[in-house]
A and B are shown apart, each in its own frame.
Chain A
Amino acid sequence: GENVEQHPSTLSVQEGDSAVIKCTYSDSASNYFPWYKQELGKRPQLIIDIRSNVGEKKDQRIAVTLNKTAKHFSLHITETQPEDSAVYFCAASNPRTGFQKLVFGTGTRLLVSP
């Protein structure tokens, strides 16, 4: 089945710096890659997603890039702010299982220091 690896597990940056989180997936049939942000004690919330027919997607300070050949995708956060501090999860989904099952990475704890 699909396996998603996420790095780094923790990331500390100064306010205003950029942050990059990387994920790799194993199943070449995966075609949907969402990123979720989870603040302490809260629900995971979708912040951006990308489908396999697109190489890059941006939404204000966040962007996601996808390299299908290498089977990896990354989250980029620019001009980080303290409120960006949270755990970020990547996920991959493919229809091979008969439905769009999301397999999550293990999460990256991002800490943005003022």
Chain B
Amino acid sequence: DARVTQTPRDKVTEMGQEVTMRCQPILGHNTVFWYRQTMMQGLELLAYFRNRAPLDDSGMPKDRFSAEMPDATLATLKIQPSEPRDSAVYFCASGLGDGETQYFGPGTRLLVL
């Protein structure tokens, strides 16, 4: 049963530190999404990749967030510098083409002190 994997599962850091979250999409999937989930805002789309190319990152604070796909098996989301308001659960999801089902990873729970 293929699944999206994410690391780390939990991260506690201090304000100002760099945070890197990693995602391994399901083998063969060509779309990757990064979401942020908070109680107040729900599930928000941060970035979207198709065939490793970033197609939309309008939901991402550009000054501190960056998302990349170094290769087809790895997607990264980086926050530098981190702030307490970045505390949330970050989910990666992958899919097979546009308009297809998105499968979520287990999430990275981030706490910025």
Contacts and interface: CB of A to CB of B under 8 A. Distances in A.
Which of under 10, 10 to 19, 20 to 34, or 35 or more describes the interface residues of A? Answer: 20 to 34
Interface residues of B, number: 20
A44 to B, nearest CB: 5
Q: Describe B's contact surface by its main secondary structure.
A: strand
B41 to A, nearest CB: 9
Contacts of A101: 45, 48, 56
A89 B43 CA distance: 9
B99 interface: yes
A44 B91 contact: yes
B42 A106 contact: yes
A93 B99 contact: yes
B104 A45 contact: yes
Interface string A41-74: 0111110010000000000000000000000000
Interface of B: 31, 33, 42-43, 45, 48, 50, 55-56, 91, 98-107
Given A31-B99, A106-B42, 19 more contacts: A32-B99, A34-B102, A43-B104, A43-B105, A44-B91, A44-B104, A45-B104, A46-B101, A89-B42, A95-B98, A95-B99, A99-B31, A99-B50, A99-B55, A99-B56, A100-B98, A101-B48, A101-B56, A102-B102
